[in-house]
Amino acid sequence: MGRQPDPKTWETIQRLRREIEDHDYRYYVLDDPIISDAEYDALVRQLETLEAEYPDVVTPNSPTQRVGGPPREAFPQVTHSPPMLSLRAVHSDDELAAFDVRCRKELDVDRLDYVAEPKYDGLAVELMYREGAFYQASTRGDGVTGEDVTANMRTIRTLPLSLPDDTYPPPERLVVRGEVYMTKSAFQDLNRRRLDAGETPFANPRNAAAGSLRQLNPEITATRPLRVVLYQLVTATGMAWETHWQVLSDILPAWHLRAPDEEKRWCSTIDDALTYHRELLERRDQVDYELDGMVLKINRLSYWEQLGSRSRDPRWAVAVKFPARQAVSRIVDIQFQVGRTGQITPVAHLEPVEIGGATVRRVSLHNFSELKRKDIRINDQVLLERAGDVIPYVVKAFHDQRFGDEIPVEIPERCPVCDSGVVIADDLKNVRCDGLSCPAQLKERLRHFASKGAMDIDGLGQRTAEQLVEQGWVRELPDVYVLTLDDWMQLDKFGAKSAENMLKALEASKDVSLARFLVALGIPLVGQHLADVLSQAFGRLDQLASASEEELLAIGQIGPEVARSVDQFFSNPDNRQVLSRLLELGVRPRPVSSSLDGGELAGKRVVFTGQLSRWSRAEAEALVTRRGGRVTRSVSNNTDVVVAGPGAGSKLERAQELDVRVLDEDAFAEWIGADEES
């Protein structure tokens, strides 16, 4: 037994834990913090100091323990009682009306009211609290047996580790169920980071959420932007309520358990529910999470018991699905595409098929390991999915529908474009052409160099890049700046006017931010995000180019693989040659001014609230920090600007109270000149 705190210290520890949890709730769930980051950090540090002094009092439910904990070998099993059911799906207005008729008949009532909620697309979980303390979390599994993911769940900031008791004292045992999911914007951020780090991106937010929660190492889960929403109260010993609406709008929030909030709707009749279903469907692409459909539940909880369940789903609820974003098609060919780093990617060519309003003809199969794992062959029937803004992908091939004329695809032994040798990594994820002057690579490098997030050379797209390489006019990137008006005019689709515009665009592109220049160079593993990080850290091209691997590693967010890749890139004599030629030809990557000596927003404090439509939160924040400004969480007298989108709440009110300047998204974009940047 180690040293125990005296009663007063113990009280302080408990008070700090409660306060930190309350602030977490305000920040992560309500998006309405009342203290600054610095004040919050101070509370956490105070608690950490005390816990370091009295290690015996550290429990897994202390807010300091959200970082993860040790990895495990496997997940223990958890039995669900009652089982976690699924929902019966209805596909039409008539079927929904029939559900209402059937329920009213069985219950022998004239009228029923309902609660409509979004159908979240993540994975179902069950949470248990004992005496108000978080005790266990488990996945649905097969409905009866799931996996114990307690340590992983603890890392999700929207989940309270202890329930507040100021409104309702927590019951001895509380069991609630809900969904763990990832927002679309967080999913895209995560995939961007994974691509930057050379990792395989997740196919969709649901896979990302499932993969992140079912991680044997909770420290990894802690880095994933997961959320949880709770939509069913299963047990609360000794307590009972009348309606599901009351549970969602009063009980769960009182315990800081996040329930469907503005997205739920009380429906006084089944017609209301039909109307809401149409509304939700219209909003499908605007909300920041994958919306699968609508779940409709009878409001009165006593009816739940009365109606009971069938073997797999309850009789008191249905899922009203939205039109599928999946379709079936046949692969007519699999071709190989050579990227700018020489990576060879298999691409499936399909019988054209429409999914969610777009015609899909080609889908990337990502890499050969994926191709082997899913056993996808030419002539296979495949299931395709295109969810929201996610690129279409092959979910699976229907192996039981083969006719014998399916052709498996072998990894090419030579580059399909330049016939050079091919380098194959053991895990088959990376298959590359090793030809230094492979035209396919050069075309892709040039197209990438000119693209919007890089040098932004208007008019220099794929077709033009192809011609320049095929004509032999561009053998390495700088050549593009040497071409004359006459050269350009000889290209397909170019006249005097467009050739002139091209020269202007090339000239204009020479003035470029350091970050975009780094993107343009196409350094392996360095995408937009890491280019930003590197340009902020080094400020100037020469500083970065001469940095050692150790110096690179010293920067947060730069891992060993990236450090090696950057170092190798700048040590390579060919690359150095390309760089110095670009500079000689007048390309001037702008140094990054530190926030002290004045980016455009130097010293300015900006608060974001409400929804943004042009950027994810992270992107918007980067726009500010890149210009030397600071993003803070709460509005105070020191705040210079509040950027308010739809749904802005108390932060907006506070800004108005304090007479702080408020901008909407468009005004903000104009203010920082973001429209000139891409």
**Residue 209 binding ligand IVH, by CB under 6 A:** no
Does the footprint of ligand IVH cover residue 86 (CB under 6 A)? yes
Tell the smallest beta-carbon distance from residue 443 to ligand IVH (Å). 45
Interface with ligand IVH, residue 314, by CB under 6 A = yes
CA dist 445 and 342 (Å) reads 10
Q: Which stretch binds ligand IVH (CB under 6 A): 117-125, 247-255, 268-276, 661-669?
A: 117-125
**Per-residue x/- track, 410-429, ligand IVH (CB under 6 A):** --------------------
Q: Which of 8, 119, 184, 493 is catalytic?
A: 119
| Residue 231 contacts ligand IVH per CB under 6 A | yes
Cβ contacts of 610 within 8 Å, gap of 6 or more: 644, 645, 646, 647, 648, 649, 652
The correct pick among 149, 230, 296, 319 for binding ligand IVH (CB under 6 A) is 319
* Residue 140 is a binding residue for ligand IVH (CB under 6 A): yes
Piece in contact with ligand IVH (CB under 6 A), picked from 191-199, 313-321, 443-451, 496-504 = 313-321
- Quick check: 25 binds ligand IVH (CB under 6 A)? no
Sequence-ordered list of residues with C-beta below 8 angstroms from that of 171, at least 6 positions apart, any chain: 236, 237, 238, 239
- Judged by beta carbon, residue 324 or residue 407, the one nearer ligand IVH is 324
Tell me how far, at minimum, the Cβ of 67 lies from ligand IVH, in Å: 27
Residue count of the chain? 678
* Residue closer to ligand IVH (CB basis): 192 or 297: 297
Chain centroid offset of residue 302 CA: 39
Rounded distance between C-alpha atoms, residue 184 and residue 616, angstroms: 9
Among 39, 179, 188, 193, residue whose Cα is nearest residue 123: 179
HEC-encoded secondary structure of 291-343:
EEEEEEEECEHHHHHHHCECCCCECCEEEEECCCCEEEEEEEEEEEEECCCCE
Does position 232 bind ligand IVH by CB under 6 A? yes
Reply yes or no on whether 504 is catalytic.
no
Q: Which is nearer to ligand IVH, 234 or 505 (CB)?
A: 234
Distance of closest approach, residue 118 Cβ to ligand IVH, in angstroms? 6
Which residue lies nearer to ligand IVH by CB, 231 or 517? 231
Candidate ranges 81-89, 158-166, 183-191, 355-363; the one touching ligand IVH (CB under 6 A) = 81-89
Smallest gap from Cβ 557 to ligand IVH, in A, equals: 34
**Residue showing tokens 């009365």:** 306
Q: Does 119 bind ligand IVH (CB under 6 A)?
A: yes
Phi, psi of 321 (to 5 degrees): -75, 150
**Does 85 participate in binding ligand IVH (rule CB under 6 A)?**
yes
In whole angstroms, the minimum distance from the beta carbon of 142 to ligand IVH comes to 11
What distance in Å separates the CA atoms of residue 67 and residue 60, rounded to the nearest whole number? 10
Residue 117 found at the interface with ligand IVH (CB under 6 A): yes
Among 29, 96, 103, 124, which residue interacts with ligand IVH (rule: CB under 6 A)?
124
Q: In sequence order, what are the residues at sequence separation of 6 or more whose Cβ sits closer than 8 angstroms to the Cβ of residue 510? A: 481, 585, 586, 587, 588
Q: Which stretch binds ligand IVH (CB under 6 A): 113-121, 283-291, 411-419, 528-536?
A: 113-121
Cα separations in angstroms, 375 against 107, 416, 487, 518, 520: 50, 22, 47, 38, 36
CA distance 13 to 50: 7
Q: Can you tell me the distance from the alpha carbon of 372 to that of 395, in angstroms, rounded to the nearest whole number?
A: 13
Indicate whether 295 belongs to the interface with ligand IVH (CB under 6 A): yes
Task: Please answer whether residues 86 and 312 qualify as being in contact, where contact means their C-beta atoms are separated by less than 8 angstroms.
Answer: yes
Looking up tokens 């003809």 gives: 361
Q: Which is nearer to ligand IVH, 229 or 669 (CB)?
A: 229
Give alpha helix (H) positions in 25-79: 37-53
Q: Which helix (H) or strand (E) holds 573?
A: helix 573-584
Closer to ligand IVH by Cβ: residue 231 or 569 = 231
CB-based closest residue to ligand IVH: 124
How buried is residue 587: exposed, middle or buried, by Cβ count under 10 Å (0-12/13-18/19+)? buried
- If one asks whether residue 248 binds ligand IVH (CB under 6 A), the answer comes out as no
Of the candidate spans 114-122, 379-387, 515-523, 633-641, the one that interacts with ligand IVH by CB under 6 A turns out to be: 114-122
Distance of alpha carbon 208 from alpha carbon 489, whole angstroms: 48
Q: Closest Cα partner for 540 from 514, 563, 564?
A: 514
Smallest gap from residue 295 Cβ to ligand IVH (A): 4
What residue ranges bind ligand IVH (CB under 6 A)? 85-87, 117, 119-120, 124, 140, 179, 231-232, 295, 314, 317, 319
Active site residues: 119
